[in-house]
Amino acid sequence: MAKIKAGDDIFFTVTMAEVLEGQGLYEDALMIYKILLDTDPSDASLPVRIERLKGLAGRGRKATVRPRPSNEGGGD
């Protein structure tokens, strides 16, 4: 994501951060959550989201969901 500075004519939403998070772009999502928290410190969900993403962004990789084993070809 490009450098963003105060006064830029842009806005962010939780939905935008969630989309980035779903794409594995944790650092970008984290930045948006931090901006949103600065804008609305009363939103109690933002610190939780930030703490969760700090670990993921630090590892720099997407959390993986392990595929469920297939029962195809099983001998029942």
pLDDT given at position 11: 79
Is 44 a domain residue?
A: yes
Total domain count, the chain: 1
Specify the pTM: 0.65
pLDDT given at position 8: 67
Digitized pLDDT (tens) for each residue of the chain, 76 residues in all: 556 666 666 778 999 999 999 999 898 899 999 999 999 999 999 999 999 998 887 775 554 444 455 555 555 5
Q: How far apart are CA 23 and CA 17, in angstroms?
A: 10
Please give the backbone phi and psi of residue 32, each rounded to the nearest 5 degrees, phi first. -65, -45
| Domain enclosing residue 53, as ranges | 17-59
pLDDT given at position 63: 45
- How far CA 69 is from CA of 47, 73, 75, in Å, comes to 36, 11, 14
Is 72 a domain residue?
A: no
Is 9 a domain residue?
A: no
- Is the CB of residue 33 less than 8 Å from the CB of residue 50? yes
Is 4 a domain residue?
A: no
Is 6 a domain residue?
A: no
